[in-house]
Structure 1
């Protein structure tokens, strides 16, 4: 049944994609982040929904009469530079086959990020993009939070199979990163029941992140909370709320969770933590040996035998920073960090532009929450291997498109429909509408509309 529902939804949305390509970009984001097909039990589980949505959206972009120019803003330029550097390091990778496999995945992500930035043209488009990104992972936040409640805080929170967030640690990073966007959605709800629904989703997402047993997620959540308190206009009320909430959540977790979090202080006695340190030293050794780094997927048992301090203790990078150092070298790390600095600056520019404008309060809140998401990702990511996870690039895309529609383009909430006068006059006459009047002599063509 699930397979048929997914297939029907996929077929039903195709006409809307050709009408407005941004619909395809949003549908791709939902499939890529939420992975709904992984919850099916039949043919849909391995059906190439994402690939087909990508192809259909690109075809719609080519056919569409909408402007197709990619804004050459600093944020877009940094994304292009980062992807170009990733391509160069892949060409000279130490493990070519594995590197090209990773590059193929990253290239698809970057392609659709650029398509999203190109096709998002109005304020409503940006709001829809933020909602799709938030709700796609908010679904997994609900599942994770309910699991923590009904299991009594037991370990075992998992994400969709064969995805970036299939295990508890990576899922926790995604939930931490997405929570601020759920807070933004909460500020945009106007009815009692939708507000309660979004509030419940946000609460369960936070609970799912904390109950994932991920130490990185705990640190990320703490840093986000501290930043929110720092930027709050009601520091006393916010501080009291955090002081009351944190002990309740912590004390409700089982002893196993407390023991797991305690290893943050006793990392030298934790085999997992020492394995990560071994991986980090391996990454530094690779970067010292190769200016371009080892290329994507360099963290492999074979390369560990050559460059790791302890060759028999093989671990993944377990850090976005050391993942980039090992795979992209020090230059790649500089580009990676600059990309986030530029994204932050883009958000700051939007915040300054929107400050004091009541009609742009939604954009001000969204930009601030994207800042909080970046903090959560950069903090939790220090202990997780998700440097190429598409979620954070969608957060950057939200900031870039906010700047695009509010500052770089004329401020229009809606795009006028494409009009073919000869055909439109007949449609209007058939619908009983008043046909367009003929423009006076010498008047511009726009006077017809």
Structure 2
């Protein structure tokens, strides 16, 4: 039944995608982030739904009367430069092109569709479609995992959907950390009290599910994200009161083995998993110093560790977005990756400056702030996970760029003209930023 439902939804959406290509962004995120077909038991688990949707989106873009081009923004150029550099490092990879081609294709599919999303998302409505789809796609697992943690008393770990980017306990925990600030943003967009309450409940369940994963990195990310969320909130008193009540409750709810697991952060020298990660980090550092182009993809094997790791026999994945990029793409690759994060943050800061005091752009100010909070959570939690190519942070980057350009257009009469995306774009509504009918 689930397989049939997903199939009907995907193929039923194709006419709407051809009519309005940005609707394809909703379907693409739903399929690639939530992976609803992974919840089935039959043919849907292996059916190429993502390829069907991607093909429909690209075809619709070519056939549509609007011209879709990449937004002319510094973040775009750094993103493209990072893509190009990954191709260079793949050509000169330590194991050769034949070995790394499959991973290169996988990463380029993710980045290529991110570029497509950047072309398509241009109005407030389309930006909020993106946010809602990410929230629903990841929030589903957060609510499910939170309820599971409550029912089990936290005695069993929360895991992500099998066969996806977030199938591990650490990975799903970080994904849920990212989505919590987006839920907080959406609370200000819904009017019914029940809807606001549902989002607050979803936030708490996502936090509980993240804790229930027993992920130490996620625990640190939650701490950092919560601190920045409170600092950037305009309602510090009520939010602070909610956090003061919720955090102790969530922590006390967890059993003794959870506390023992988290306490190993202070004694990492005695933890074989933590020391294995440090060995992998030192391997990446040594490799990047020896090979300016990095090692390319697929470097986590005995041959590479024997040459560059302090403990050659202790082979681990990178377990850090930063050392993952450093080892695979060298110091220049890491510089581009960090520049992408910094410039996305600064783009959010520019939105806040321009939208402040403009009532019709209050949504943009709140969204940019919460996107920044999400990125802080990813930056901290990602320091302990191999998720450099996880698509959600790049989707948030696309939302940030689209919001920046929309704010620039709506505030143009108040300031000097600024560069806008190439190609023809729909005019933004005077009050909402949504394309006029």
The TM tier, using the shorter chain, reads: over 0.9
Q: CA contact under 8 A between 1:25 and 1:112: conserved in structure 2?
A: no
Partner of 1:27: 27
Distance apart, 1:27 and its partner CA: 0.7
Distance apart, 1:227 and its partner CA: 1.1
Query: Which segment is superposed worse, 373-382 or 309-318?
Result: 309-318
Cα pair distance change 1:142/1:343, threshold 3 Å = same
1:94 is aligned to 2:111: no
Q: CA contact under 8 A between 2:121 and 2:399: conserved in structure 1?
A: no
Q: CA contact under 8 A between 2:324 and 2:388: conserved in structure 1?
A: yes
* CA displacement 1:57-105 (0-9 Å, x = unmatched): 1000000111212112011111111111111111111123342221111
Question: How many Å separate the matches in 1 of 2:131 and 2:70?
Answer: 19
Distance apart, 1:345 and its partner CA: 1.0
1:231 is aligned to 2:248: no
Distance apart, 1:236 and its partner CA: 5.1
Cα pair distance change 1:12/1:238, threshold 3 Å = closer
Question: How many Å separate the matches in 2 of 1:350 and 1:360?
Answer: 9
Query: Which segment is superposed worse, 195-204 or 226-235?
Result: 226-235
* Larger relative contact order (CA 8 Å, sep ≥ 6): 2
* CA displacement 1:223-272 (0-9 Å, x = unmatched): 11111222234545544543443222211110110000000000011111
Normalised by the length of structure 1, the TM-score is 0.90
Partner of 2:331: 330
1:341 is aligned to 2:358: no
1:310 is aligned to 2:327: no
Query: Which segment is superposed worse, 100-109 or 387-396?
Result: 100-109
Partner of 2:415: none
Partner of 1:216: 217
Partner of 2:57: 57
Query: Which segment is superposed worse, 277-286 or 348-357?
Result: 348-357
RMSD across aligned positions (CA)? 1.5
Partner of 2:2: 2
Question: How many Å separate the matches in 1 of 2:230 and 2:126?
Answer: 30
1:255 is aligned to 2:256: yes
Partner of 1:17: 17
Distance apart, 1:411 and its partner CA: 2.9
* CA displacement 1:329-355 (0-9 Å, x = unmatched): 111111111101110111111111211
* CA displacement 1:399-426 (0-9 Å, x = unmatched): 0111122314653345466xxxxxxxxx
Distance apart, 1:154 and its partner CA: 2.0
Question: How many Å separate the matches in 2 of 1:189 and 1:235?
Answer: 20
Question: How many Å separate the matches in 1 of 2:7 and 2:404?
Answer: 35
Q: Give the secondary structure class of the aligned counterpart of 1:265.
A: helix
* CA displacement 1:353-395 (0-9 Å, x = unmatched): 2111222222111110000001000000111110110010011
Counting matched residue pairs gives: 417
Q: CA contact under 8 A between 1:99 and 1:298: conserved in structure 2?
A: no
Distance apart, 1:200 and its partner CA: 1.8
Query: What does 1:8-407 correspond to in 2, within 5 Å?
Result: 8-96=8-96, 97-235=98-236, 238-407=239-408
Q: Give the secondary structure class of the aligned counterpart of 1:264.
A: helix
Question: How many Å separate the matches in 2 of 1:315 and 1:233?
Answer: 43
Q: CA contact under 8 A between 1:141 and 1:175: conserved in structure 2?
A: yes
Query: Which segment is superposed worse, 358-367 or 216-225?
Result: 358-367
Question: How many Å separate the matches in 2 of 1:313 and 1:155?
Answer: 28
Question: How many Å separate the matches in 2 of 1:345 and 1:140?
Answer: 31
Q: Give the secondary structure class of the aligned counterpart of 2:266.
A: coil
Q: CA contact under 8 A between 2:428 and 2:436: conserved in structure 1?
A: no
Cα pair distance change 1:232/1:6, threshold 3 Å = closer
Question: How many Å separate the matches in 2 of 1:387 and 1:128?
Answer: 24
Question: How many Å separate the matches in 2 of 1:415 and 1:67?
Answer: 15
Normalised by the length of structure 2, the TM-score is 0.92
Structure 1 unaligned spans of 5+: 418-449
Question: How many Å separate the matches in 1 of 2:188 and 2:32?
Answer: 26
Q: CA contact under 8 A between 2:287 and 2:294: conserved in structure 1?
A: yes
Partner of 1:432: none
Q: CA contact under 8 A between 2:232 and 2:369: conserved in structure 1?
A: no
Structure 2 unaligned spans of 5+: 410-419, 421-426
Question: How many Å separate the matches in 2 of 1:293 and 1:123?
Answer: 40
Q: CA contact under 8 A between 1:134 and 1:182: conserved in structure 2?
A: yes
Partner of 1:436: none
